[in-house]
Amino acid sequence: MTDFSEVERIKAESRLLRGTLAASLADAATGAIAEDDTQISKFHGIYQQDDRDLRAERRRQKLEPAYRFMIRARMPAGICTPAQWLALDALANTYANGTLRVTTRQAFQFHGVIKRDLKPTIGAINEALLSTLAACGDVNRNVMAPPVSALASIREQTAAAAAALADHLSPRTGAYHEIWLGGDKLASSEAESEPVYGATYLPRKFKIAFAIPPLNDVDVHAQDLGFIAIVEDRELIGYNVTAGGGMGMSHGLAETYPRLADTLGFITPEQVIPVAEAVVTTQRDHGDRTERKHARLKYTIDEHGLDWFLAEIQRRAGVELAPAHEVAFSQRGDPHGWLEDERGAWHYTLFVENGRLADRGEARQLSGMRAIAQVHEGEFRLTANQNVVIAGVSADARAGIDALLSEYGMIRPATPLRLNSLACVGLPTCGLALAESERYLPELIDRLDKLLADSGLDDEPIVIRMTGCPNGCARPYVAEIGLVGKAEGSYNLFLGGGFDGRRLNRLYAENVDDQGIVDALAPLLADYAARREADERFGDFVVRAGHVAAVAEGPQVQQRQQN
Ligand code: SRM
Ligand code: SF4
């Protein structure tokens, strides 16, 4: 295995994800787990981190870093019940840092859990009938599907398909039950098998989303595999299949790049699972296991060519894909506030800035959601835009929800720019962050809002996204304004992404600080206000006006960023 990456060795020796995790958890001499286990724990939904705000001081005091763990609970299509919400909320306060974090993949994260509290936290998540298994790691991650659609039955069908697919692609190892839930130890893992993944799982993470046009809230073209619902006469007739999307890149490594998915063709709803399995096993067998930075499906497709890839999928699935249908996307943001669906059920989308549910002064979104969960009879759905939908409210129950939203100060005035903003977690928990993200974007938006107001653009829903490093967790390369951390206080500014998520943006300015961002955007926004055409989006304008170079439109677009 000499050519294989170190993580491949760790997986191969892990006995289907056991590693030495049990011993690591029992070791009271350190707040950390063994180094190899930090890779294996990801498959169990756990990341070892340390509080980076405390690093220097801990070092000065000659203490080990303040090790804390992030736990991710996955939920296909972002759906959970009020009882599950209450269980997670209790854990946030008992074992985590008193906040709940909604992620850009419709999942929940807990931050700040110490080692000895991992077991009770994971036990309680499972008691609530949720799981952290495969929330991270080289496997299929949380499967996304739209949380709201005026077409209730189509939403239901895509959510059910997402759940079935998540189940089908879930690891089969008994390690999770054994380590976290007191399940019986197997004498040997040889009795077990991973029918889809095999003993070394995938070369890298793998991501799937369902979308219902015209809403592209899940950024379907940024996913390894996408299913775009095709609806005729209000009936779901099947899906366009897309493959090869991904955001991650590394500064200074030109062979890494964000890429939008290609469209492969059309399939019927019954063909979703065989086609998905064919894509996953193709990536399992042909993905790069020597270099993790080059191991995502997007690179496998670029190496082997799209024709080869399509032929391989069709052969493995025993399915011939039909020509894709025309689709148009016109919106990516969530429909904030109340929305009624075709069956007369009401859904309230609550804006949660950067996904952090917390109590801050009079704005008590965490407590407010707890109060709502105590009376709500429908369900909750997390959105890929880091918001929460209080779903399935009867007309009679609306007033009660409204009263709680206002009692807990949960609705704060927010401009369209803020409502269309996303920031990844970044500092202080993310070990890969080069710059602030979640803690900084709200302030920057205050300043940009002033610029927009000065140019009479306060009603413009410009999509702005920030990440603390180039990995792209808030999908910044499909934003109209993308800010990607390079170093403390310094960002690369990308402009010109398509409003519909179907065009990558371009690098516009490097290493800009707070004032540099404002200075770079001020003349562009003024020009936009002066010269834009009717209904022209900012991302389209900067391309048309020549502020950034044009890139090809359409699903096959691919752009290698300048580094
Ligand atoms: Fe991510 C790694 C947070 C969505 C691309 N991501 C990380 C880690 C786990 C850092 C690490 O490896 O040590 C971050 C934990 C931070 C923390 O303290 O919580 C992290 N990623 C997140 C979340 C929480 C961002 C958020 O603010 O919501 C999202 C959790 C999603 C979930 O529930 O599963 C999150 N990450 C994404 C997305 C968006 C998406 O999935 O649609 C992407 C871009 C799409 C893609 O995968 O290409 C993304 N994360 C990455 C990458 C780059 C992967 C690559 O191909 O290069 C890394 C780094 C890695 O894997 O080595 C990464
Ligand atoms: Fe961390 Fe980078 Fe992802 Fe932000 S984009 S959460 S800084 S890995």
Regarding the beta carbon of 469 and ligand 2, being less than 6 Å apart is answered yes
- The closest alpha carbon to 468, from 488, 448, 454, 493, belongs to 488
Quote the ligand 1 centre to 107 CA distance (angstroms): 12
Containing 195, the helix (H) or strand (E) segment is: none
Regarding the beta carbon of 425 and ligand 2, being less than 6 Å apart is answered yes
Regarding the beta carbon of 109 and ligand 1, being less than 6 Å apart is answered yes
Q: Are 163 and 76 in contact (CB under 8 A)?
A: yes
DSSP 105-169: TS-EEEEEE-GGGHHHHHHHHHHTT-B-TTSSSSSB-PPB--S--S-HHHHHHHHHHHHHHHHHT
Regarding the beta carbon of 430 and ligand 2, being less than 6 Å apart is answered yes
Regarding the beta carbon of 357 and ligand 2, being less than 6 Å apart is answered no
281: amino acid identity, one letter: T
Containing 233, the helix (H) or strand (E) segment is: none
- Residue 371's CB is within 10 A of a number of other CB atoms, namely 17
Quote the ligand 2 centre to 427 CA distance (angstroms): 8
Give, for ligand 1, the residue of 473, 475, 478, 504 to mutate: max count of ligand atoms closer than 8 Å to Cβ.
Answer: 473
Low-confidence ranges of the chain (pLDDT < 50): 1, 552-563
Query: What pairs with residue 70 in β-bridges?
Result: 47
Residue whose token pair is 């080289």: 138
Atom of ligand 2 minimally distant from the CA of 474? 5
Give, for ligand 2, the residue of 101, 440, 473 to mutate: max count of ligand atoms closer than 8 Å to Cβ.
Answer: 473
Regarding the beta carbon of 248 and ligand 1, being less than 6 Å apart is answered yes
Quote the ligand 1 centre to 260 CA distance (angstroms): 17
- The closest alpha carbon to 329, from 136, 175, 503, 458, belongs to 503
Quote the ligand 2 centre to 440 CA distance (angstroms): 14
Q: Which residues are catalytic?
A: 72, 141, 205, 207, 424, 430, 469, 473
Per-residue CA distances from 435 to 52, 449, 475 (Å): 12, 22, 16
Question: Which ligand is closest in space to the CA of residue 206?
Answer: 1
Atom of ligand 1 minimally distant from the CA of 423? 27
Q: Is 74 helix (H, G, I), strand (E, B) or coil?
A: strand
Looking at residue 159, its pLDDT comes to 98
> Tokens in use for 13?
């020796």
- For the chain, how far is it from start to end, CA to CA, in angstroms? 32
Looking at residue 189, its pLDDT comes to 53
Regarding the beta carbon of 296 and ligand 1, being less than 6 Å apart is answered yes
Question: Which ligand is closest in space to the CA of residue 219?
Answer: 1
Looking at residue 190, its pLDDT comes to 57
Looking at residue 66, its pLDDT comes to 92
Regarding the beta carbon of 295 and ligand 2, being less than 6 Å apart is answered no
Per-residue CA distances from 481 to 196, 335, 357, 474, 509 (Å): 39, 20, 25, 12, 11
Question: Which ligand is closest in space to the CA of residue 475?
Answer: 1
Distance CA 294, CA 100 (A): 32
Whether the full predicted model's pTM is greater than 0.85, yes or no, is yes
Question: Which ligand is closest in space to the CA of residue 467?
Answer: 2
Atom of ligand 1 minimally distant from the CA of 107? 33
Regarding the beta carbon of 247 and ligand 1, being less than 6 Å apart is answered yes
Q: Are 16 and 192 in contact (CB under 8 A)?
A: yes
296 CB-contact burial (10 Å; exposed 0-12 / middle 13-18 / buried 19+)? buried
Per-residue CA distances from 340 to 150, 218, 347 (Å): 7, 21, 6
Regarding the beta carbon of 136 and ligand 2, being less than 6 Å apart is answered no
> Tokens in use for 441?
């974007």
At residue 468, what are phi and psi to the nearest 5 degrees? -85, -5
103: amino acid identity, one letter: T
Give, for ligand 2, the residue of 52, 439, 467, 477 to mutate: max count of ligand atoms closer than 8 Å to Cβ.
Answer: 467
Quote the ligand 2 centre to 501 CA distance (angstroms): 20
Distance CA 301, CA 295 (A): 11
- Taking the C-alpha atoms of 162, 168, 174 and 180 in order, what is their torsion angle to the nearest 10 degrees? 0
- The closest alpha carbon to 263, from 235, 233, 247, 241, belongs to 241
Question: Which ligand is closest in space to the CA of residue 428?
Answer: 1
Distance CA 447, CA 211 (A): 33
Looking at residue 192, its pLDDT comes to 85
Q: Is 175 helix (H, G, I), strand (E, B) or coil?
A: helix
DSSP 11-49: HHTTTTTTTTHHHHHH-TT-SS--HHHHHHHHHTTEEEE
Distance CA 73, CA 412 (A): 27
Q: Are 17 and 43 in contact (CB under 8 A)?
A: yes
Looking at residue 561, its pLDDT comes to 40
